[in-house]
Amino acid sequence: MLQCSNAIHDYITACILQRPFIFHPSELIYFGTEYDIPPLLGCRFTRLCKIPLIKIKKCHCLLMRSEVFATYIQVKTCLDKHCCMVAGEPPEMQHSNDCQDLVACSEDWRAIWWNGMGWLLLDARNPHSYDDALERFKSL
């Protein structure tokens, strides 16, 4: 680990925090752990979790410590599982007072949800975040 004065350390930290998108999240996590810069860890880990596992290269894995990478795998697995559950389970629908067939209406809602949100959330070629998928679903 390089030694530098607190002023230089603070200046470098401020420069990195002003333009964090220049760096890959794994690089920021490395800087945060290697040079004891806690502000780089939390939100950068969140940003890392938004990246599909398949797009994490070996060089990025090597930058992160094994504990961080293992935690990333666990969190990403849980998030992906939750995304599948959300895609398959539509929210409860409120029927209008003049709804003639509650069962058919509910079945239609499940089909619309699955064909809309399920497709948007689980499309491996073009995955969407929940917020983006919900916005696109509303515009269908």
pLDDT digits (tens, 9 = 90+) for 69-100: 999 999 999 988 998 898 888 888 888 888 88
Q: Which of 67, 91, 71 is nearest to 79 (CA)?
A: 71
What are the structure tokens assigned to 109, written together? 């809602």
- Please give the share of the chain, as a percent, with pLDDT higher than 70: 97
Whether the CB-CB separation of 101 and 125 falls below 8 Å is answered with no
Map out the domains of the chain as residue ranges. 1-87, 90-139
What are the structure tokens assigned to 18, written together? 């002003």
- Crossing angle of helices 66-88/42-49, nearest 10°? 50
- pLDDT above 50 (res 12): yes
